[in-house]
A and B are shown apart, each in its own frame.
Chain A
Amino acid sequence: MASEKKKLRVATTSLAGCFGCHMSLLDIDERLLELLKLVEFDRSPLTDIKHCGPCDLGIIEGGLCNAENVHVLREFRKSCKVLVAMGACAVNGGLPAQRNHLDIRDCLQTVYMTGTGIRRGFIPNDPELPLPLDRVHPLHDVVKIDYFLPGCPPPADAIWHFLNDLLAGRTPTLGHGLIHYD
């Protein structure tokens, strides 16, 4: 009875990321079962729930490259008590931010109109499609982020260690070998 502690509710998502961080999360392997004793998943690629309910923890992979990313991030911030930026892209924009020295107009023009092999191209303008921001931003440029977990992706051991700290109420720290920016 005493062990029937209420599980923490966790949401995860990937914004301008590659799902590599989520793959790394799955790489904690059999420890997933241990994790599931402590948490239950709300919105996440693992559950396919489309919108966040009230959560204790939100884990976000990827940075902000378009308007939809901003909306999802805001939904997470509103729904989650604690928000974690997981992986290089969430932490500092990561590889997508390497486009930041280019003019987004030129990018779109090149990709949809003037690139090799394109004839009669046009830039998609369907309102269903999120518009790209002029620059890619890390999450903390738009909302408050409580914790950062760097790495591209963070190693499974780092994720496990980090989540254990967090779930146990300790400020997460990563020692040599676990803290990685690549």
Chain B
Amino acid sequence: MSRDLSAILARHQHDPLRLVQILRDVVEEHGFISPGTITTLAERLSLPRGRVEGVAGFYAFFPTENAGRYRVLFSDNITDRMAGSVELRQRMLEAFQVRDGEVSRDGLVSIGTTSCTGLCDQGPAMLVNGRAIPRLTRARIGSISAMIHGQAPLDTWPANLFDIHTHIERKDLLLSTPLAAGAAIDAAIARGPDATVAQVKASNLRGRGGAGFTTGVKWEMCRAAPGEAHYVVCNADEGEPGTFKDRVLLSDYADLVFEGMTVAAFAVGAKRGFLYLRAEYPFLLAPLEATLAERRKAGLLGKSIRGVADFDFDIEIHVGAGAYVCGEESALIESLEGKRGIPRNRPPYPVTSGYLQQPTVVNNVETLAKAAFVVMHGADWLRVRGTGRSAGTKVLSVSGDVARPGIYELPFGATVREVLDLCGATDVQAVQVGGPSGMLLSRSEQHRRIMFEDVPSAGAFMVFDDSRDILQVLENFASFFAHESCGFCTPCRVGTALQRRMLSALAKGYGTRRDLKDLARVAKVMKASSHCGLGATAGNAALDALEKFKPAFEKRLGTLEVMPTFDLDRSLAPAREVTGRDDDEAHLSHEEEE
């Protein structure tokens, strides 16, 4: 084992900054990270042991106990559930006689859940030892189970199991403009760095990851910030449930994204760039590396790019390890530095003090792709579409109860109804725009527009028809936030846990009016005092639903203002078991009989 560790450490130059990458390799080779491994790694990397244990304990894909030779994680987004993932998981649990989240006695397999894996247009999906399998059916589960029973190595499984499809249903500006590799870089060089930044500013391109900060201003501030080195980071940690547009951009438009990163590097004066790829997209890694290699060969990366002295730039891919919070730019940087993904205190912002405290631009995949064309074709390229404060288009990831799930690029200002018509949605009860942290829209809000001024969106567009139970949707979202809270600040750490508990009770019919009040209260506390956007938005869906779907709550409420917050009768079960009693007095009703 120690020899494996040496090889892994050597591969990463014994660099503590690469701790997350090192731990990924450990899991890949050993299946989990043992206490002894943690001690060895800490010694060899000259890190405090607690630091390594803390990082191992932070990320969802770092098991610290034996999790079996086959580690099966079902994607647990609401869209997976709507497509039948719960039943499929149940079948598999039964097939292996194992409990949810636990390892089978023979150490063969563990079966659990994970946050949305970004395959909502082809769910239900799962990860097996980190490898994604979409479009699960009973038949697929059957053959997967058989291969696990037979202990077939993953490499021998049929390749088509792992095929990820691309569904681009509507192209607009971004997805239809052709790119000759290097053309945007040439345009940037021709303009010079200042004019490059000026073009991006003039285009009014705003961040497509959700926050909507003006990209040109970000570049300008980073360029102006003093530092020993500048960095460009592409945020491909697309973790917002229901979002998969960056996956498609990286699979079908990788050159464009790298072109955007290189242009950004030229503009801010960066020599190194990182693409932070979410762990759920391992299938993108090899193709992206291949694209990078081609670009190096073509002189689009490396030393003196396009013959410009001092224009040296290269890109490394860092892979995440299952942490939604790392989509927040300062948490992402912490993770890049091999640490727990805890958002930093801001200011200072990454543009002045980012990676290794140096000026760093962190941009979303879609933002960088668009920036490349803005630099190439000028600010007006973007501004011909969209609205005043929302220039250009938005790439939406459409999923849920629709005929044609997939990628839709639409001008900003498009109405919700237009999107619903395009994707073939009928009997729509609700749409969740921007994912669980975004906005929950009711049937009467289909006139609303996707744009920063009205309904901003990081890209998710999940549709729920009349057959769906809004409370189950909310419970799913609440579980997601509770699972993904980094735990740094009180409001989010405790608030997301409280929210999950209350919504779970409400969905099961144990809720009361007090829970409705408390739900709103907890959401407001999170919004007002959380350290970062995760906590600040974790209560959005519940607040929206309390306003727009109140009857959905009310029809589940018990008759009392307050009911037991737990299952009273079940809480007597252990005592019944050891006393062997089952008389009337050995039971409690949930709502007291009058």
Contacts and interface: CB of A to CB of B under 8 A. Distances in A.
Chains A and B touch (C-beta atoms under 8 A apart): yes
Nearest to A135: B571
A133 B567 CA distance: 10
Contacts of A130: 585
24 contacts: A67-B572, A67-B585, A67-B588, A78-B592, A104-B578, A105-B575, A105-B578, A123-B578, A124-B579, A125-B580, A131-B579, A131-B581, A132-B572, A133-B568, A134-B572, A134-B575, A137-B566, A141-B564, A141-B566, A142-B564, A143-B562, A144-B560, A144-B561, A144-B562
B468 interface: no
B423 to A, nearest CB: 45
Nearest to B562: A144
B514 A131 contact: no
Contact of A125 (B573, B574, B579): B579
Given A133-B571, A135-B571, A144-B562, A70 B577 contact: no
A128 B583 CA distance: 10
B304 interface: no
B508 to A, nearest CB: 16
Interface residues of A, number: 26
Interface in A57-83: 67, 70, 74, 78
A169 interface: no
B592 A134 contact: no
B106 to A, nearest CB: 27
Interface size band for B: 20 to 34
Interface in A95-149: 103-105, 108-109, 123-125, 127-128, 130-135, 137, 140-144
Contacts of B563: 142
Contacts of A74: 592
B389 interface: no
B195 interface: no
Contacts of A70: 568, 588
B581 A125 contact: yes
A127 B562 contact: no
Interface string B580-592: 1101111010001
B575 A127 contact: no
A104 B577 CA distance: 10
B442 to A, nearest CB: 31
Interface of B: 514, 560-566, 568, 571-581, 583-586, 588, 592
A103 B578 CA distance: 11
Which 3 pairs from chain A and chain B are nearest by CB?
Answer: A144-B562, A125-B579, A131-B575
A157 B92 CA distance: 62
Contacts of B560: 144
Given A104-B574, A123-B579, A131-B576, 9 more contacts: A105-B578, A108-B575, A108-B579, A127-B585, A127-B586, A131-B585, A134-B574, A140-B562, A142-B568
Given A74-B592, A125-B580, A131 B586 contact: yes
Contacts of A124: 579
Given A133-B571, A134-B573, A109 B578 contact: yes
Contacts of B576: 131
Contacts of B585: 67, 127-128, 130-131
Nearest to A125: B579
A130 B576 CA distance: 11
B591 to A, nearest CB: 10
Given A123-B579, A131-B581, A105 B564 contact: no
B557 to A, nearest CB: 14
A128 B574 CA distance: 18
Contacts of B573: 134
A103 B581 contact: no
A78 B562 CA distance: 12
Contacts of B574: 103-105, 134
Q: Which of B566, B572, B573, B580 has the most CB of A within 10 A?
A: B572
Contacts of B568: 70, 133, 142
A127 B586 CA distance: 7
B566 to A, nearest CB: 7
A131 B572 contact: yes
B273 to A, nearest CB: 49
**Chain A CB within 10 A, most for which of B563, B576, B578:** B578
A124 B579 CA distance: 7
A123 to B, nearest CB: 5
A157 B425 CA distance: 66
Contacts of A78: 592
B23 to A, nearest CB: 31
Contacts of A105: 574-575, 577-578
Nearest to B594: A78
Contacts of A103: 574
A103 B577 CA distance: 12
A144 B572 CA distance: 21
A144 B514 contact: yes
Given A124-B579, A125-B580, A127-B585, A134 B571 contact: yes
A76 to B, nearest CB: 12
A128 B562 CA distance: 28
A141 B580 CA distance: 27
B504 to A, nearest CB: 15
Nearest to B583: A127
